[in-house]
Amino acid sequence: MIGIQQQFRLEDCPVSDLMQRLRQGRLCLDLGATSIRVNSDSSELAAQLGKVYPQHPLIEGADWADHHVSVTRAKGWRRWIRPQVDFSCDFQRPFAPFPADAALPLFEWGSNWLIGQRLAHLLLLHAGVLERDGLALVLPATPGSGKSTLTAALSLRGWRLLSDEFGAFCPDRLRFIAMLKPVALKNRSIDVIRNFAPDAPLGPSFPKTRKGMVAHLAANRDAVDRRKEWVRPGAVVIPRWTEGAELSLEQLAPHVMFGALAFNAFNYQDTGARGFDAVSHLTTVCRGWQLTYSRLDDAISALNELWQQVRDRARQPFENMAQK
């Protein structure tokens, strides 16, 4: 079943065909940890989704999606004068409309909101997550610290992207799973990534969103195809971009790591004791560092080097527990 489905991806689909699927409400995006069915009459959205979800498979006849969203053109005079689009989910409309040409940011924002509200069976850390050698690198951070930029850069240098926003950790399996959406880059980081990798698959820029200019980096084919693989936690690194700073990597005490993971999470409170146990587990099996950097290349080579240690340590589970 999977073999056939994954033959066709959004990039193989002409915009007119995507539009048709959106109109009929049968475009289903499987992000790994969750799935979204989209209904829309916006041709802007069809084109924009095709650009930033190119590798996601076209799923035919899905009989399940976690979220069912509509992005529809506003009725009445808003159809003609400064047209707008509305986001809704099962008759609920949580936000004010956006300008019609910003359908994608509205879809991304709205679906992120739904994910944060509804998936309390997972602990949703506010963190970028990438995988290498079967181990997850967790990059928790507050907005503005350059987490998305670093996540995007790593994903362009051989690390497999799981998510730039939701570190989806299953408290039962004690593993991460992908929440695979495009990486949302804001303001200066758009040019930073463009210079870092001139052929990076960036979607259109949206100049006037609530967070300023936004552009999305599409996930690559390998990340999409492996989005259902569960990943062991490897290490926690809190990134901090500081202009002109020398690279430094300082180890963190477990209680600092605990705070950085738990208190930034989207649903730490909702998950109750499960969330507490999950974060405790992460701070037990992972070591944590604070990474201060100013140049992406330096940060990436430091993380590549660090990963050899992390990999060696993960091979020795007993010794690793004894150190704690």
Q: How far is the CB of 3 from other proteins (least distance, A)?
A: 21
Please say which residue, 134 or 272, places its beta carbon nearer to other proteins: 272
Q: How far apart are CA 103 and CA 38, in angstroms?
A: 12
Please say which residue, 37 or 51, places its beta carbon nearer to other proteins: 37
* Cα torsion 253, 255, 256, 258: sign: positive
| DSSP per residue, 53-99 | STTSBPPPS----SEEEEEEE--GGGGTSS-EEEEEETTB--S--EE
Helix count and strand count (H, E) for the chain: 11, 16
Q: How far is the CB of 89 from other proteins (least distance, A)?
A: 8
Q: How far apart are CA 307 and CA 111, in angstroms?
A: 33
Task: Write the CB contacts of 245 (distance below 8 Å, at least 6 apart in sequence).
Answer: 292, 293, 294
Q: How far is the CB of 88 from other proteins (least distance, A)?
A: 6
Q: How far is the CB of 26 from other proteins (least distance, A)?
A: 11
Please say which residue, 37 or 313, places its beta carbon nearer to other proteins: 37
Q: Under the rule (CB under 8 A), what is the footprint of other proteins?
A: 25, 39, 63-66, 68, 88-97, 118-121, 269-272, 274
List phi, psi (to 5°) of 28. Answer: -115, 125
Q: How far apart are CA 177 and CA 32, in angstroms?
A: 7
List phi, psi (to 5°) of 292. Answer: -105, 130
Please say which residue, 142 or 269, places its beta carbon nearer to other proteins: 269
Please say which residue, 146 or 171, places its beta carbon nearer to other proteins: 171
Q: How far is the CB of 69 from other proteins (least distance, A)?
A: 11
Q: How far is the CB of 199 from other proteins (least distance, A)?
A: 37
**Helix orientation angle between 43-52 and 15-23, rounded to the nearest 10 degrees:** 120
Please say which residue, 65 or 247, places its beta carbon nearer to other proteins: 65
Structure tokens at 61: 């006849």
